[in-house]
Amino acid sequence: MKQILNFIQGEYAATDRLFDKHSPLTGEVVAQVHEAGRAEVDAAVAAARAALAGPWGRMSVAERVERLYAVADGIHRRFEEFLAAECQDTGKPRSLASHIDIPRGAANFKVFADVVKNVPTEFFETATPDGRGAINYGWRTPVGVVGVVCPWNLPLLLMTWKVGPALACGNTVVVKPSEETPQTAALLGEVMNEAGIPPGVYNVVHGFGPDSAGEFLTTHPGVDAITFTGETRTGEVIMKAAAQGARPVSLEMGGKNAAIVFDDCDFDAAIEGTMRSVFANCGQVCLGTERVYVQRPLFERFVAALKQQAEALKLGVPDDAATGMGPLISKEHQDKVLSYYRLAAEEGATVVTGGGVPDMGAQLAGGAWVQPTIWTGLPETARVIKEEIFGPCCHIAPFDTEEEVLAKANDNAYGLACAIWTRDLARAHRVAQRMQVGLSWVNSWFLRDLRTPFGGAKQSGIGREGGVHSLEFYTEQKNVCIKL
Ligand code: NAD
Ligand code: 6OD
């Protein structure tokens, strides 16, 4: 059986507490993961702290940048291994992981290396009473040991989205991957060694949240800052943990994102984009759409077209090039999504398509499969409209006016992202600016430029990462004032 080990001080570390990793495709055990206890978390944090004082802490920005480029190259060189590991852990189509997850894993190192290489510093010339003046400049130092707690939906992408900028800024990290997706974080340890990243700079501890590696890491006094991606409820717990020692947190959390389709849109583009935003990664994307609002003249046509395309989606295994959608991450998550499928019916939804479990044949019967699902007819107060489901499903509702749709789309506790489909440029700006979200896409979805501020409003997050915004979190900026 494949063994997934912790990675501490540049070496793989076994423990005597093993848990099973199940395939989302079949339910069978595909690996055993070595759970880190307090001792391993202590060792990882100690290694990360020691590395701050070692060669890593003394490296110039240029030297760090070269090594981060080498990490990016290493991911590309071992692309097939990362791809196989990610697909085995998540069950997602190879076509998706090879276009998004793995290339972004490499890009997250390259882009943030470029950011730190090119970022200017603040400089002020200051008048003094004696007329000689002073100069002031900003100087960035690493925050120290960063605890990185990750979800399972885009494992390598979201982990490196934190580790890339953290290392670029000179920090060291202890990563806690999701218990569902331990493999790519562990594999990255080898790449770090090959790229000449000193031991202790990148550490990985496996396990769960409460009373396990997640809690041990986030409550550890040796951790200077915590960056987290996951559910809002977990983020609240982590924020409390970070309060001990007044440590900074960056929280990227849940969403219940709206798509707004105006009747002047490019219809085919809106359907294509909405198909991706609802069903990509089996709906397990924090930025994904679960609420679609369509202007009334287009409503019936839109529902019919989305239904037709959802029914044409081929569910299948990662290696089949025809696969458009894989399974959910786990049986536990399948239970959650199916409970919302039942709730939608109880709340009075019309099921346009789906709503249950597909027949995948005997070989895949143990997997976490659900049907792509579309509903109409729910009141805005329904829980299915309000709560994050994180599955391949959406509710479509008609609207008449811009004011009406803004009020509906904004009436939610989350505020992560939205997608607006219109050819009216003035309206696009108006609506994008009035949406209470961190990211408004117009005529697109998941079109990413890593230099832009990324994060959520309301209960979707605290803080912004991306480009120079990541430096705000991963560095301590001091003012140096020199009297001339
Ligand atoms: P989760 O909150 O259940 O788990 C995330 C991580 O936190 C896991 O590693 C888990 O082990 C750990 N954890 C759980 N409880 C903990 C605790 N008490 N202390 C410390 N660590 C703990 O989230 P998930 O189910 O893995 O991911 C899905 C969620 O993530 C969805 O809500 C989704 O919207 C959100 N998400 C948000 C973004 C974003 O950028 N805003 C991106 C991806 C996913
Ligand atoms: O693209 C990114 O940088 C990012 N953080 C995406 C988040 C996706 C959520 O599932």
Going by alpha carbons, the residue nearest to atom 1 of ligand 2 is 448
Distance 158 CA to ligand 2 centre (A): 6
Domain-located, residue 408: yes
Whether residue 325 sits in one domain with residue 433 = yes
Q: 344 and 235 in one domain?
A: no
Residues 275 and 360 in one domain: yes
For 422, the domain range is: 257-450
Q: Are residues 192 and 232 in the same domain?
A: yes
**Ligand 1 nearest atom to the CA of residue 218, by list position:** 20
Q: Nearest ligand to the C-alpha of residue 90? A: 1
Q: Structural domain tally of the chain? A: 2
Question: Which atom in ligand 1 lies closest to the alpha carbon of residue 210?
Answer: 18
CATH number for the domain harbouring residue 241? 3.40.605.10
Picking from 399, 360, 356, the residue whose alpha carbon sits closest to that of residue 376 is: 399
230 alpha carbon, closest ligand: 1
455 within some domain: no
Same domain, yes or no: 416 and 471 = no
Q: Do the beta carbons of residue 327 and residue 91 sit within 8 Å? A: yes
From the CA of 226, how far away is ligand 1's center (Å)? Answer: 13
**16 and 129, same domain (yes or no):** yes
Query: Which 3-state string (H, E, C) describes 460-473?
Result: CEECCECHHHHHHH
The reply to whether 126 falls in a domain is yes
Measured in whole angstroms, how far is the alpha carbon of residue 90 from the centre of its chain?
14
Predicted pLDDT of residue 404: 98
Q: Are residues 44 and 156 in the same domain?
A: yes
Q: Any idea which residues carry the catalytic annotation?
A: 252, 286
The answer as to whether 73 is a domain residue is yes
Residue 338 lies in a domain: yes
Residues 397 and 466 in one domain: no
Quick check: CB of 216 below 6 Å from ligand 1?
A: no
Could you give the CA distance from residue 429 to residue 452 in angstroms, rounded to a whole number?
17
Instruction: Return the residue whose CA atom lies nearest to atom 13 of ligand 1.
Output: 209
pTM above 0.75, yes or no: yes
- Ligand 2 neighbours by CB, cut-off 6 Å: 153-154, 158, 161, 285-287, 448, 454
Q: pLDDT tens, position by position, for the chain (484 residues)?
A: 999 999 999 999 999 999 999 999 999 999 999 999 999 999 999 999 999 999 999 999 999 999 999 999 999 999 999 999 999 999 999 999 999 999 999 999 999 999 999 999 999 999 999 999 999 999 999 999 999 999 999 999 999 999 999 999 999 999 999 999 999 999 999 999 999 999 999 999 999 999 999 999 999 999 999 999 999 999 999 999 999 999 999 999 999 999 999 999 999 999 999 999 999 999 999 999 999 999 999 999 999 999 999 999 999 999 999 999 999 999 999 999 999 999 999 999 999 999 999 999 999 999 999 999 999 999 999 999 999 999 999 999 999 999 999 999 999 999 999 999 999 999 999 999 999 999 999 999 999 999 999 999 999 999 999 999 999 999 999 999 999 9
284 and 238 belong to one structural domain: no
Instruction: Tell me: do 265 and 408 sit in the same domain.
Output: yes
Give the position, in ligand 2's atom list, of the atom nearest the Cα of 252.
5
Q: Which ligand is nearest to the CA of 161?
A: 2
Residue appearing with tokens 């290392």:
167
Domain assignment of residue 19, yes or no: yes
CATH number (domain holding residue 388): 3.40.309.10
Q: Are 113 and 183 contained in the same domain?
A: yes
Does 154 map to a domain? yes
- The 3 state secondary structure assigned to the chain is CEEECEEECCEEECCCCEEEEECCCCCCEEEEEECCCHHHHHHHHHHHHHHHCCHHHHCCHHHHHHHHHHHHHHHHHCHHHHHHHHHHHHCCCHHHHHHHHHHHHHHHHHHHHHHHHHCCCCEEEECCCCCCCEEEEEEEEECCEEEEECCCCCHHHHHHHHHHHHHHCCCEEEEECCCCCCHHHHHHHHHHHHCCCCCCCEEECCCCCCCCHHHHHHCCCCCCEEEEECCHHHHHHHHHHHHCCCCCEEEECCCCEEEEECCCCCHHHHHHHHHHHHHHHHHCCCCCEEEEEEEHHHHHHHHHHHHHHHHHCCECCCCCCCCCECCCCCHHHHHHHHHHHHHHHHCCCEEEECCCCCCCCHHHCCCCCCCCEEEECCCCCCHHHHCCCCCCEEEEEEECCHHHHHHHHHCCCEECEEEEECCCHHHHHHHHHHCCCCEEEECCCCCCCCCCCECCEECCEECCECHHHHHHHHEEEEEEEEEC
pLDDT value of position 428: 98
Residue 194 pLDDT? 98
- pLDDT attached to residue 462: 98
Co-location of 293 and 328 in the same domain = yes
Q: Candidates 112, 150, 158: which one to mutate for ligand 2, based on the most atoms within 8 Å of Cβ?
A: 158
Domain for residue 158, yes or no? yes
